[in-house]
Amino acid sequence: MEKAWTPHILVNGVKTNYGYGWTLNNLNQLRSIEHGGHMNGFTSSLIYYPDEQITIALLFNDQDAPRDKLSRLLSELVLGRSLEMESKSVDPQVMESYTGIYALTGNKSRTITVSKTKGGLVAKVSGQDGFEILFTDASHFRLKNISDATGEFKLKDGNVASMIINQNGVFEWIKIK
């Protein structure tokens, strides 16, 4: 299991948060090892907190159940603490520069729209709900209620050129609008 729970290193040297079938997280100083899935009307989530020796399993008879949100909420109840971080303050002009439409490299039909909300930004993936962006600094972020998704806005020649999302691999989304 140790190898399965060890982060994979990509050919280009980038360390991922993914082992052999397991997502490896460290959120607010709390380590977790997770696996989720869905098929034909069902979805599931398994989260192991090794330092606390706690395992949480959720099974849903609905493939559209809000698995990630419910997994986080149940984990907070069992652990007795919040897992969500506070978003760092980012200059409004910087946030405005991040708004727009981003297309997935290699599959331009997949898009993420980043838009403003009251005091922050939301990322809406084509065909999915929107996720609040929680900044860890001026360019790095997490997506609220998705413990294994981190990202970074990338600049080129002083302009926002792309967004990198790390979730079960590293994906680049090019800003197209």
Residue 147 scores a pLDDT above 70: no
Map tokens 């039909």 to a residue.
Answer: 109
**Cα 105 to Cα 35: distance, rounded to the nearest angstrom:** 26
Identify the helix (H) or strand (E) that includes residue 73. Answer: helix 67-79
Q: Given a cut of 80, is residue 62 above it in pLDDT?
A: yes
- Positive or negative, the CA dihedral 58, 62, 65, 67 is positive
pLDDT band of residue 42 (cuts 50, 70, 90) is: very high
DSSP class of residue 85? P
Please give the domain boundaries of the chain with CATH numbers for all domains: 1-84 (no CATH), 92-175 (2.40.128)
- For the cut 70, the answer to whether the pLDDT of residue 46 exceeds it is yes
Which pLDDT band, with edges at 50, 70 and 90, does 51 fall under?
very high
* Mean pLDDT across 122-146: 86
Per-residue pLDDT at 30 exceeds 90: no
pLDDT in tens, 161-171: 999 998 767 88
Specify whether the CB–CB gap between 19 and 3 falls below 8 A. yes
Inform me whether the pLDDT recorded for 132 exceeds 80. Answer: yes
Q: What distances in angstroms separate CA 26 from CA 10, 31, 34, one per listed residue?
A: 19, 4, 11
pLDDT of 56: 95
Question: What is the torsion angle, in degrees rounded to the nearest 10, for the CA atoms of residue 173, residue 144, residue 68 and residue 171?
Answer: 20
Q: Give the Cβ contact number of residue 40 at 10 Å.
A: 5
Distance CA 162, CA 174 (A): 4
Q: Which residue has the higher pLDDT, 67 or 54?
A: 54
pLDDT, mean over the chain: 87
Q: Which of 50-59, 70-79, 117-126 has the highest mean pLDDT?
A: 50-59
